[in-house]
Amino acid sequence: MVVLIDTNVILDFLLTREPAYQAASDIILKCANKEIKGYIAFHSISILWYVLRKVPEEKRRNYLIDICSLLQVTATSHNEIIKAINMIEFKDFEDCLQDRCAKNVSADYIITRNTLDFTYSEVPAILPEDFLKILNT
C-alpha cells in the first residue's frame, strides 16, 4: 500500500493534536515499520517549517528530519505542475499539488483530514480513521 500523507495529518502527529493524534500516530508508525510506503509532498516541508515557526528552531529542524526519515519526499514533474495550474476545479492549489505528487508515486490514497478539498483528485483522498479501518480488514 502506498500513501501520500497530507500536511494536516503530519501536524496532528508532530503537535499531538487531539482528537486526531492517535490515528495520525498509527499511520506514521505503520510507515516507520514499513507496513505501508509513506510519502510526503516536497512542498509540505516548507509549509511545516512555516506553520511550526513558533517552535524553537532546533526542535523544528529535528521534527523535519524525523519526518523525512519516516516518509519519502516526493515531487512532481514540470508538466504535472502546469496541469495543476490549469485544474480550475480545485479550490485549494496546495491540495492540487498534493494530488499531483501522489499521482507521481502511484499512491493508493492521499491521507488527509480534509477530504472535501480533494473531490476532483485523481488519487482518492481518505480520512486517517477510514484508512486504518481498511488496513485492519
Note the Cα 121 to chain centre separation in Å: 14
SS3 state of residue 135? helix
pTM of this structure: 0.94
Question: What one-character-per-residue DSSP string does 48-81 give?
Answer: HHHHTTTS-HHHHHHHHHHHHHHSEEE---HHHH
Distance between CA atoms of residues 9 and 27, nearest Å = 9
SS3 state of residue 73? strand
Distance between CA atoms of residues 124 and 122, nearest Å = 6
pLDDT given for residue 75 in this prediction:
96
> Is residue 102 within 8 Å of residue 86, measured between CB atoms?
no
Residue-range domains of the chain with CATH: 2-135 (3.40.50.1010)
pLDDT given for residue 72 in this prediction:
98
- How many residues are present in the chain? 137
pLDDT given for residue 41 in this prediction:
97
Split the chain (137 residues) into runs of 10 and give each run's mean pLDDT: 97 96 98 97 96 96 96 95 91 93 97 94 97 93
Phi, psi of 30 (to 5 degrees): -65, -35
Cell of 13: 502527529
Q: Which amino acid is at 130?
A: D
> Is residue 9 within 8 Å of residue 20, measured between CB atoms?
yes
